[in-house]
Structure 1
């Protein structure tokens, strides 16, 4: 077998349909486009959502409602972050001041990643079930 003798398997390649090449092709005359009308013409079509001049649906419906993503911004803090912080009492403002949480954050949740040996009292800060166990085991509490 040589590179110049390679051929595709029998039936793997088939001739491309030749449109508008005479009556014998089965797609002569109108070339499968039917008779007259916008869709039969070359270059004749419309943009997505066009309804023939009727007011499009996206313009007929009223525009209302919007929820800013920045307002429901949730942040995460790990147990190792709390350990490194070294504060006895932690709340949202403390975490923002330490730079552990973005300024836009509205809610904070502690996740169980790393170790915690300090007794930390959390106020208005959520925690996962595993993180809550780890905090209470270290002598801390959630309020």
Structure 2
């Protein structure tokens, strides 16, 4: 028994006929064509989740507090106590080395050295900023504080 291309048919039940809407009242899907009656959802579809029926929305009723200064410089900070623990006397400390040793996760806008803790080793520290007391402690221990 040979098959021809015109003998091929889909398996019964595998293909569902599409709904023919808007084809008269006798079809059961005439008149409004399954779209319901007039209303807000008719023209635009759905209303956004934040819409409150014309009432002033919550995000406009709540006052705005504070602001974010776009020009503010945010430093990644390192204390002298950490430098004392992790570095040998006479070694150089730079932001790249601090990243490599995982003392810092990211450099942000630069590195600032703060004075918490004591330092006894003479270190050559290069950073974007130093607190006054940190600079004083580094230089009194025989080290160098260099601003990049």
Question: TM-score, length-normalised on structure 1?
Answer: 0.49
Question: TM-score, length-normalised on structure 2?
Answer: 0.48
